């Protein structure tokens, strides 16, 4: 397998954009990634798209060639990947695997979602389609409800507290306030986070990520050709995707995501690193409890210690192991199909030293964790300075 490098990144702002359609967002991100990688659309040999529910949110199907042709990429394979909130992480995994295998040299990977054109109960229903419709969803489960049940069990087994959950939201808003592309650029206090409107007990509105529009894209090539495109290549050291049951009631232990653990083990092995080597990470904080479980499953802290570690500041910008310096899904926004590739863009930005006032000093080895549903798909990507 050939080493692979990210040579171009491009993101739209994440937010609510009533005047923008799905395609224009994806095209903007794709063109920015090509420009950033000093490439022309005619050089692209394959287009991989991550999108969760374009057909439900906006009615459009056949999205990959619909978008790639508008970018000016024609005649090459253009394929959409759907893996709930891990859709573009999955697209990236398959694209990087194809480049590593020698199938293509120049590949554009994009992710997009246009969510805000639907009212919240409809969005909630579309998102619930990533769960088990014949079981938990029919009973009335929403994604906040599924993660609320995960949170309750984590609190029961490990003594995790409301304050520990809220500390994740407070920290991510602090970071997101400094990110010019973030959806909700405001700082929140612990008091506000604790007093939020209840969504599904014990989660309040401040424990939940945002409903957003947005797109992200990356250009990848074999490492040996990276210098043709950029003087700041970032190497894909490890990337792995694994799966697990969709329904929450089919999992033995809901306080951990088995797929996250197995994909992390594979990615660490591929990269030749250990959890303790990872300097910073973008993790999938679709809900505050998800970030706490992520840092446990990734091996950053022992099981059950995610809450205390977060409250103590271990994951802050100036903490021992910064997590979600972008603001995470909580503050940056969560256009679900764009999230996986968006996280990769954020990690690349840190490694290149382009993160502005959020820039870390220890920035040569970062990880992106993209979760689908309540853990049925997990994609882990480890990136390092080339």
Which residues here bind other proteins, judged by CB under 8 A? 120-122, 124-125, 128, 135-142, 144-145, 148-150, 152-153, 156, 197-203, 247-250, 254
Task: Tell me how far apart the alpha carbons of residues 317 and 325 are, in angstroms, rounded to a whole number.
Answer: 6
Per annotation, catalytic residue among 85, 208, 286, 316: 85
Q: 3-class DSSP state for residue 172? A: helix
Count H helices and E strands in the chain, helices first: 13, 11
Q: Using the minimum distance from each CB to other proteins, give the nearer residue, 59 or 180.
A: 59
Q: Using the minimum distance from each CB to other proteins, give the nearer residue, 188 or 199.
A: 199
Q: How far is the CB of 121 from other proteins (least distance, A)?
A: 4
Q: Which two tokens stand for residue 288?
A: 């505050």
Q: How far is the CB of 341 from other proteins (least distance, A)?
A: 28
Q: Using the minimum distance from each CB to other proteins, give the nearer residue, 127 or 380.
A: 127
Q: Please measure the distance between the N-terminal and C-terminal CA atoms of the chain and give it in whole angstroms.
A: 17
Q: How far is the CB of 303 from other proteins (least distance, A)?
A: 17
Q: How far is the CB of 262 from other proteins (least distance, A)?
A: 22
> 321 CB contacts (<8 Å, ≥6 apart)?
278, 279, 280, 281, 295, 300, 314, 315
Q: Is 286 a catalytic site residue?
A: no
Q: How far is the CB of 56 from other proteins (least distance, A)?
A: 12
Q: Which two tokens stand for residue 244?
A: 């697990």
Q: Which two tokens stand for residue 147?
A: 């993660």
Q: Where are the beta strands (DSSP E) in 223-308?
A: 234-243, 280-282
Q: Using the minimum distance from each CB to other proteins, give the nearer residue, 138 or 362.
A: 138
Q: Using the minimum distance from each CB to other proteins, give the nearer residue, 48 or 57.
A: 57
Query: Phi, psi at residue 229, to the nearest 5°?
Result: -110, -30
Q: Using the minimum distance from each CB to other proteins, give the nearer residue, 18 or 121.
A: 121
* Cβ 11 vs Cβ 345: under 8 Å: yes
Q: Which of 368, 382, 365 is nearest to 279 (CA)?
A: 365
Task: Tell me how far apart the alpha carbons of residues 308 and 78 are, in angstroms, rounded to a whole number.
Answer: 45
Q: Using the minimum distance from each CB to other proteins, give the nearer residue, 35 or 253.
A: 253
* Residue 255: other Cβ atoms inside 10 A: 23
Q: Is 334 a catalytic site residue?
A: yes
Q: How far is the CB of 327 from other proteins (least distance, A)?
A: 22
Per annotation, catalytic residue among 154, 173, 284, 334: 334
> 306 CB contacts (<8 Å, ≥6 apart)?
160, 164, 291, 292, 293, 294, 295, 296
Task: Tell me how far apart the alpha carbons of residues 115 and 119 are, in angstroms, rounded to a whole number.
Answer: 9
Query: Phi, psi at residue 130, to the nearest 5°?
Result: -85, -5
Q: How far is the CB of 339 from other proteins (least distance, A)?
A: 20
Catalytic residue positions, numbered: 85, 334
């Amino acid at each position: 397998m050939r080493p692979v490098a990210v040579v171009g990144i491009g993101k739209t702002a994440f937010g609510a954009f009533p005047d923008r359609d799905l395609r224009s967002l994806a095209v903007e991100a794709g063109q920015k990634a090509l420009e950033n990688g000093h490439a022309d659309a005619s050089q692209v040999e394959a287009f991989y798209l991550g999108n969760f529910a374009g057909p439900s949110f906006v009615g459009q199907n056949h999205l990959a060639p619909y978008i790639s042709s508008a970018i000016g990429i024609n005649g090459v394979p253009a394929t959409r990947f759907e893996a709930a909130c891990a859709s573009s992480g999955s697209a990236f995994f398959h694209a990087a695997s194809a480049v590593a295998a020698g199938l293509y040299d120049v590949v554009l990977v994009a992710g997009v979602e246009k969510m805000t054109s639907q009212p919240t109960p409809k969005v909630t229903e579309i998102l619930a389609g990533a769960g088990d419709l014949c079981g938990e969803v029919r009973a009335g489960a929403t994604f906040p409800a599924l993660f609320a049940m995960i949170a309750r069990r984590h609190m029961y087994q490990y003594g995790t507290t409301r304050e520990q959950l809220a500390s994740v939201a407070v920290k991510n808003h602090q970071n997101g306030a400094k990110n010019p592309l973030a959806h909700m650029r405001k700082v929140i206090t612990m008091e506000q986070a604790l007093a939020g409107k209840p969504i599904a007990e014990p989660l309040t509105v401040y424990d939940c990520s945002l409903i957003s529009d947005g797109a992200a894209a990356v250009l990848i090539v074999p490492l040996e050709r990276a210098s043709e495109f950029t003087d700041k290549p970032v190497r894909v050291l490890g990337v792995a995707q694994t799966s697990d049951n969709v329904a929450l009631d089919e999992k033995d232990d809901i306080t951990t995501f088995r797929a996250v653990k197995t994909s992390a083990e594979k990615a660490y092995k591929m990269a030749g690193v250990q959890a303790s080597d990872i300097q910073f990470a973008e993790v999938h904080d679709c809900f505050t409890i998800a970030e706490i479980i992520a840092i446990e499953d990734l091996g950053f802290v022992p099981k059950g210690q995610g809450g205390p570690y977060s409250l103590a500041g271990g994951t802050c910008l100036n903490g021992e192991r910064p997590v979600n310096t972008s603001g995470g899904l909580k503050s940056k926004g969560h256009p679900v199909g764009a999230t996986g590739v968006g996280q990769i863009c954020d990690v690349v930005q840190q490694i290149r030293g382009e993160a502005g006032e959020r820039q870390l000093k220890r920035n040569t080895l970062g990880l992106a964790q993209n979760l689908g549903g309540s853990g049925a798909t997990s994609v882990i990507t480890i990136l390092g300075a080339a």
